[in-house]
Structure 1
Amino acid sequence: MPSRSNLDIPKSRYTAIIVSVVIFLLLTSGVLITSIYNSLKIRDLRAGTALSANLRSDIPRLTQEIYLLNTMREQKQLAAELAIQTTKVNKLAESIDAEVKTLVDGGKVNIRDEEDVYKPSQKADQLEYVQKTSTLWAPYKAALGRFVIADTSLNASALENEFGDASQGIYNNATGLTDSLSGENGQRASFLRNLQVFGISFAIIYFIVFVLYFVRRLKASDEELISARRETQEIMETVSTGLFLLDKDLNIGQQYSTALTKIIGSDRLGGENFASVLRGRISDKDLNTTRQFIEQLYNPRVKEKLVESLNPLHKVMLHDTSGAQASDSRYLDFKFSRVYENKEIARILVNVSDVSDAVYLEQRLEKESAQNDMQIEMLTTILNVNPKIINEFITNTKLHIDKMNNVLKNPGSSQYELEGKLSAIYREMHSLKGEASALKLHSFTTIASDAEDKLNALQNQGKLGGNDFLPLAVNLDELLSLSNTIETLGQRINQAAPTSISNVKATTAPVDRNEWDDFNITDSSVNSAVDNAVSADNGWDSGFNSNIDVEDNSDSHLLPYYQDFAAQIAARQGKQVELNMTSLAHVEIPVHLKKAVKDISIQLLRNAVVHGIEDANTRTAAGKPATGVIALQMKNDGQNFTMTLEDDGQGINFDGIRDKLVAMGRFDAAAARNLDRNELLKQLFSSGFSTRDVADEDGGRGVGLDIIKAQVKEYDGKLNVNSEFGKMTRFVITLPAA
């Protein structure tokens, strides 16, 4: 049995360790404190060096600008140019004055978008440089003030006496101060470097001494560590998700799960840069965002939960190694978590899983949902609209698409021919959108509006090229697909059921909107289409307000169609409108004119509600009823078919047309004043003209009146416009009935 003395652990056993630790801590603290102090001094010296360097570069510039100003005065250059140069001299002088003041009193100094605080140097030579600089600057500044105020030039000798010698003196002192500060900065940097070498050497020696002591204990714990590592390896080989660690340089750790190689599609990942692995397989934008995101994860001031939603690799598509979206491209979901060591962010744990099946399912559900919504919209339209109107819409849509396709196929690459194509396509697209809007087919309207945005951009870009029209092919395909869809749905529904038709009065809450808008036309020969534009024709009754018998003839189905369309526009524009159409129930529209009459009617109604009828407040203030009245009348005498639309709105604002023409740069103010009303109406019907600044679903595209003019011209008809400002506007369109 051992004695007690053999069992006791001698106290001196830990004395060397304690002493070594205390010495190590003291030396380390000394090194750190000294390093911090020197770092602060180096930072201060850096600020002083930057400040003096700025002064050294600014003073010659100021002197040069003064000489330039003097030369400009001698040459008697324009006052505006002299003022600009004087301002430049004053600003540079203010900057130098601030620099000198900071050298003397201290202050803030901006260095590469960072702000340092400069404290005045206490070294004798540096103080001397600063004092000399300040002494030289004071008379220089005073002389500059006199020179600027005097507004006269100096001869070369006087200029040199006033500014040349002082400038050189300031430059020399600034150079001396810069050299002195740089030298001191270098000394302190050298000292700091030696101190760090000492600290590192001490740490190495400390390590060597203590490693021998702990090696035995480490051997004892090796088996335990190996066992734990084996367990970790088994876990990494078993999990189905990809696990790995990232350091600050985005390098992947050597330990990662076996599943990661299969998910990423690469066998060599350990030690590879994460950005290099992803490069070419995700977009450059996502790659750059990923770098920034991981940098924020390493920022301890940023809350991990706050940036989690900004993860750019959440359900991201990972392309094959060629960068193309191939069949083996997959959707991966990366999740990032911080790994802490001693409360500091050491690494980032990344958990990546293949979510391709879930994403594809989600996309399929979204697509099916969108298709269902579209079909529900179409079914609602089919069930609530007269079958004749649906069939007409399908037929007209295909005609519009065919016309646009034919226009695109037509040869011709000159600028004039391309502009003609653009106007023709714009008219067809606008007509299609108007008819779709009347039926509340928002899917058609959305695609057509997108196409109109593209056409408007082409209209404003100046020079056109054949390839500029290629993006429109996508819109045409989408419209044709929707047209086929609604046609198929219509065929599946029993269209034999009668559709009840009722009269509609559009009365909505008012919104102030009394600006006359424009509709554009490409052809310049408006004089053949706009005839007697400002005549005082009052030979028809505009006060129709009776119920309509909708069962008289085959065109009666258009009555609720136009009523509902007018009500929709009024609701969107915040106006109150009543539409009277007594004659439509008793007139037969010639078959060859049905589409043209419908297109023209839609554009006339749009124009009347959007640009003619005022909002309720404006009408009331003008002594009118709050509800505006629009009368659409049609007449067929066997020889001619006549359409007349009159509204009791604000009339055509010819002065507004003049102002818009000047604003658009088509005419100068003098030329615009000389335009008579017929010429102004020609501009109103011209391509690209609009009095409205913002376009929406109902107006502002500058195409509506263009469509009317084109239809009238196509059928060799006549167009008469009559307007009385503040009271009414009337459009009379006459087309050959045979």
Structure 2
Amino acid sequence: MASAKTVHVFQKSISSRYRGLIWSVAVFLTLIALLMVSSIWLSAKIRNNTMEQLAVEQVNSATQVITQNLFNLKLSYGEDPNSPHIRHALDVVKQSKDHLNANLVALTEGGTVETQEGSKFKISALTQDGNAQRLQQFKNDWEPLSRQIDTYLAEATSPLADSSSLDLSVMGAQNINEKLQANVNGVLSVINGKITARTAWLGWIQTIGVVIALAYFLVFVFYFLSRLRDSDVRVEAARKETDEIMNTVSTGLFLLDKDLNIGSQYSKELESLIGQNELAGRNLMEVLGNMISQEDLNTTHGFIGQLYNPRVKERLIGSLNPLTRQAMNITDRNGNPVERYLDFKFNRVYQDNDISRILVNVSDVTDAVLLERKIEEEREQNDLQLEMLSTILRADRQMIDDFIRNTHKHNISINNTLKTPGERQVELRSKIEHIFREAHSLKGEAYALNLHGFTVIAENIENELKKLQAQSSLSGENFLGLAVHLEELMNLTQTIEDLVSRLGHGEPIGTPQTPAAGKARMTDYYARLVSDVAERNNKVVDFSYSGVGEVPDEGLRTTIHEIAVQLLRNAVVHGIEAPAVRQSKRKLEAGHVRMELRETENSYVLRLEDDGNGIDYDAIRNKAVEMGKYSAERAASLSTKELLMLMFSSGFSTVAKAIGDAGRGVGLDVIKDRVNALGGKINVSTSAGAYTRFTFTFPKKAV
């Protein structure tokens, strides 16, 4: 009896000892199952929303493609309707229209959507949150245009057809484009809102799951081990379960202590993400040491330190995370260096209301970053082409043709200079000065036409050259970076040339037929340049022009235009005072710049005068001393002629800091170079506080 009773008590004791463990495991598995089911459900919903989003974006893209190609067809009207260009545009319009209709049916009624890559997926009709009404409104706006496009496509290749159906299609596309965009954006907004909300929930569920798993592990080790010392096998089983979870998750997970040491438990994916093994116990700063800059390391150390400060709200410093989409240098499994973008998310882990650890979640966002970058580059390229197209349509065709021709010359000159062999410092410095002149001249011409793409590239070249000028010693390898900018410049030149070619051939658009028309064109062109420079420099300037309206000789016309652009910018920046300064001198608030181009029997005379400061010879002397060209005593003895020669030298500028319109010390150097090349003469007349007048005489036949 005693033995039987002892066994019963022992069995009861065993049952009692394991009951808590069994219940804890059951609850844990139930929670994990619920979290997994919730995650799977949310993932499925997010996937469905993503497919819906893709379908709506395809509808949006198709409307833009149709509008763009209809516009291109309008611009190309009159060409052979069976030319490859026209046929391609017609095919694109038809395919995009069919694709749009198919996607619209799927969105309103449910069905299969096919991507441009050929993959297919099913979606349900969008009927909630007002999407049904938006899609119906989109359909109501689209169907008349669709029928008009069908009418145009049916007769597009007919030699007897006129442009009426195309005009109606283009007009219809333009009229409803904003409505279509508004409805599509409304649908996308609703879908994006669902995706964002569900993604947030999914993130929370995954974090909760990990925290629960870690909490369970800690409770199991520190609580049950004390009560179940003979249950080592069960403890090992629980440890294996935790390992399985950490080996299964698709992100890098680990805990950080206050000393920034990585915890013993981390996901297997972490090693693959950062290209390092055996991370347990290692300091995070050591792990990241060769992957990011020292500045980012210091910022990361400070950021994590703030996370351990209980007085700092976690959500308030979340935006200061330095490891968001961080570019890192990783060594892959084959030992090859690769650049990868990793996203680190830091979350506090509390124990008894104290911050015990920091949970770090590492994700590879390389594909997303590269995709966004590609989209941004394509958007910038489209914006640049639209800018150039707008300029071409508004500007005088002869000026555009002259700009393209001059830009080709600048490109060739820079390219030839880069190819010119030279190892001596004098030769390399000379190359810098020559390229500086070409880039500065190009920047002035591009700015005058509002071609900001060319202006940016020219400024990049100037910035690269300024860095080279600052170096004490140069070599041929220092010029390799300029080749990249030159390639960008050549590609952009080809782009604008192609746009001009597509807009038509023959006589330049807007070519003046009379001297008066030519004069008006020049006046408007230079007046706009002066106005833009004045506005950027917070000045008020009036401009007037007199003289001939056209110079027949192309080379001479180019040089005069180039000099005029440089001098007009200098007159506004250096010559004309600010309105308040002018009023203090009892001058009119608005400065005046006068330009005159006269033709004589054997020459052209260009005169440009402003009623501003005049040339400040003392400023030239001080700058010469500052640059180390002369001592203070020698500078004080310089004559007016010597000071003017210094002002026209390369790299000399009295502006303290370079800005977009001045300060490079190249403008007057370019002018001197161009005038000398034509055998011309320069005369400068000035009066302090009153005026500055530049007079250039060019022989009609270059020397």
Task: Name the SS of the counterpart of 1:350 in structure 2.
Answer: strand
Which residue number corresponds to residue 597 of structure 2?
A: 634
Shift of 1:568: 1.0
| Partner SS for 2:547 | helix
Residues 215 and 253 of structure 1: CA distance in aligned 2, closer, same or farther (over 3 Å): closer
Structure 1 position 719, deviation (Å):
1.1
For 2:334 and 2:566, the matched residues in 1 are separated by 47
Query: 1:566 aligned to 513, 519, 530, which one?
Result: 530
How much does 1:600 deviate?
0.9
CA distance in 1, matches of 2:274, 2:430: 53
- Say which of 532, 540, 551 aligns to 1:576: 540
Question: What residue in structure 2 maps to residue 311 of structure 1?
Answer: 321
- What is the count of residue pairs matched by the alignment? 482
Q: Does 2:621 align with 1:654? A: no
Among 683, 689, 694, the residue aligned to 1:726 = 689
Amino acid in structure 2 at the alignment position of 1:390: I
Give the drift of 1:706: 1.0
Shift of 1:619: 3.3
User: Aligned runs of 1:173-252 on 2, under 5 Å?
Assistant: 217-218=227-228, 232=242, 235-236=245-246, 238-252=248-262
C-alpha separation between the residues in 1 aligned to 2:390 and 2:345?
A: 44
SS class of match (1:588)? coil
Q: Quick one: distance in 2 between partners of 1:426 and 1:592?
A: 20
Q: Tell me, which stretches of 5 or more residues in structure 1 are unaligned?
A: 3-212, 502-547
- Are the structure 2 counterparts of residues 216 and 309 from structure 1 closer, same or farther at C-alpha, using a change threshold of 3 Å? closer
Q: Distance in 1 between matches of 2:508 and 2:365?
A: 51
Deviation at 1:656, TM superposition (A): 3.4
Matched, 1:483 2:478: no
The answer as to 2:587 corresponding to 1:624 is yes
Separation (CA, whole Å) in 2 of partners of 1:313 and 1:625: 56
Tell me, in whole angstroms, the C-alpha distance in 2 between the residues paired with 1:440 and 1:325.
Answer: 49
- The change in CA–CA distance for 1:445 and 1:275 in structure 2 (over 3 A counts) is same
Question: Is contact 1:559-1:584 (8 Å) kept?
Answer: no
Aligned to 2:430: 420
| Distance change (3 Å), C-alpha of 1:728 and 1:249 | closer
- The counterpart of 1:599, out of the listed 562, 566, 575, is 562
Aligned pairs for 1:73-152 (under 5 A) are none
2:379 is matched with which residue: 369, 375, 378?
369
1:438 shift after superposition: 0.9
Superposition map of 1:376-391 within 5 A: 376-391=386-401
1:706 matches 2:657: no
Q: Give the 3-state SS of the residue equivalent to 1:692 in structure 2.
A: coil
Amino acid of the residue matched to residue 400 of structure 2?
I
1:236-274 alpha-carbon deviations (Å, 9 max, x no partner) = 455433333334454444434455455456675555655
Identity of aligned residues (%): 48
Equivalent residue, structure 2, for 1:736: 699
1:446 to 456, 459, 463: 456
Seen in structure 2, the aligned counterparts of structure 1 residues 324 and 461 have a Cα distance that, compared at 3 Å, is farther
Q: How far apart, in 1, do the equivalents of 2:604 and 2:493 lie?
A: 30
Q: Secondary structure at the match of 1:644?
A: strand
One-letter code aligned to 2:527: Q
**Distance across 2 between alignment mates of 1:260 and 1:414:** 52
In structure 2, relative to structure 1, the CA distance for the partners of 1:280 and 1:647 (3 Å cut) is closer
Cα distance in 1 between the residues matched to 2:463 and 2:269: 48
Query: What is the RMSD computed on CA atoms of the aligned residues?
Result: 3.7
8 Å contact from structure 1 (residues 646, 729) kept in 2: yes
Q: Is the 8 A contact 1:635 1:643 kept in 2?
A: yes
1:125-165: per-residue Cα shift (whole Å, max 9, x none)?
xxxxxxxxxxxxxxxxxxxxxxxxxxxxxxxxxxxxxxxxx
Task: Tell me what 1:351 maps to.
Answer: 361
Which whole-Å CA distance do the structure 2 matches of 1:573 and 1:287 have between them? Answer: 41
User: 2:69 maps to which residue?
Assistant: none
Distance 1:434 1:216 in 2: 82
Residue in structure 2 matching 1:470, options 469, 473, 480: 480
> Could you tell me the TM-score, scaled by structure 1's length?
0.58
- Relative distance call for 1:259 and 1:458 in structure 2 (3 A) is closer
Q: Greater Rg, structure 1 or structure 2?
A: 1
Cα deviation for residue 681 of structure 1 reads: 1.6
Secondary structure at 2:321 match in 1? coil
8 Å Cα contact 1:717/1:736 also seen in 2: yes
Residue 248 of structure 1 contacts residue 295 of structure 1 at CA under 8 Å; is this kept in 2? yes
Q: Distance in 2 between matches of 1:390 and 1:399?
A: 14
Distance in 1 (CA, whole Å) between partners of 2:269 and 2:466 is 52
* Partners of 2:612 and 2:692 within 8 A in 1: yes
- State the 1:625 CA deviation: 3.0
Change in Cα spacing, 1:703 to 1:318, as seen in structure 2 (3 Å) is closer
Deviations 1:156-209 (A, max 9, x none): xxxxxxxxxxxxxxxxxxxxxxxxxxxxxxxxxxxxxxxxxxxxxxxxxxxxxx
- Quote the offset at 1:714 in angstroms: 0.8
State the match for 1:333 in structure 2: 343
Distance 1:215 1:640 in 2: 104
CA change 1:382–1:215 in 2 (3 A) is: closer
Q: Which runs of 5+ in 2 are unaligned?
A: 3-222
Query: Contact (CA 8 Å) 1:281, 1:321: kept in 2 or not?
Result: no
2:652 matches 1:689: yes
* SS of residue paired to 2:453: helix
Residue 644 of structure 2 aligns to a residue whose secondary structure is: helix
1:306 to partner: Cα distance: 4.0
1:328 Cα offset (Å): 6.6
Please list the CA deviations of residues 310-360 of structure 1 after superposition, one character each: whole Å capped at 9, or x if unmatched: 333322345442699969754332222222333333332222223233222
Change (3 A) 1:563 1:293: same
Following the alignment from structure 1 to structure 2, what is the Cα–Cα distance between the partners of residues 336 and 616? Answer: 54
The answer as to whether partners of 1:566 and 1:579 remain within 8 angstroms in 2 is: yes
- Are 1:550 and 1:559, in contact at CA under 8 Å, matched by a contact in 2? no
AA matched with 2:533 = I
The 1:341–1:559 alpha-carbon spacing in structure 2 relative to 1, beyond 3 Å, is: same
Given that 1:388 and 1:557 are in contact with CA atoms closer than 8 Å, whether structure 2 keeps it comes out as no
Cα distance between partner residues in 1 of 2:612 and 2:299: 55
Counterpart check, 1:717 vs 2:703: no
C-alpha deviation, 1:296, in angstroms: 4.2
1:674 aligns with 2:637: yes
Contact 1:550–1:556, Cα closer than 8 Å, also in 2: no
Shift of 1:602: 0.9
Instruction: Write out per-residue CA displacement over residues 385-405 of structure 1, whole angstroms, 9 at most, x where no aligned residue.
Output: 112212221221221121122
* Structure 2 Cα separation of the partners of residues 642 and 214 of structure 1: 100
The Cα shift of 1:572 comes to 1.5
Of 323-332 and 614-623, the range deviating more from structure 2: 323-332
Residue type of the partner of 2:491? Answer: S
**TM superposition shift of 1:493:** 2.8
| CA distance in structure 1 between the partners assigned to 2:594 and 2:629 by the alignment | 34
Residue aligned with 1:722, SS: strand
Structure 2 partner of 1:392: 402
Which moved further from structure 2: 394-403 or 648-657? 648-657
Partner of 1:28: none
Is contact 2:596–2:606 with CA below 8 Å preserved after alignment?
Answer: yes
* Larger RCO (alpha carbons 8 Å, 6+ apart): 1
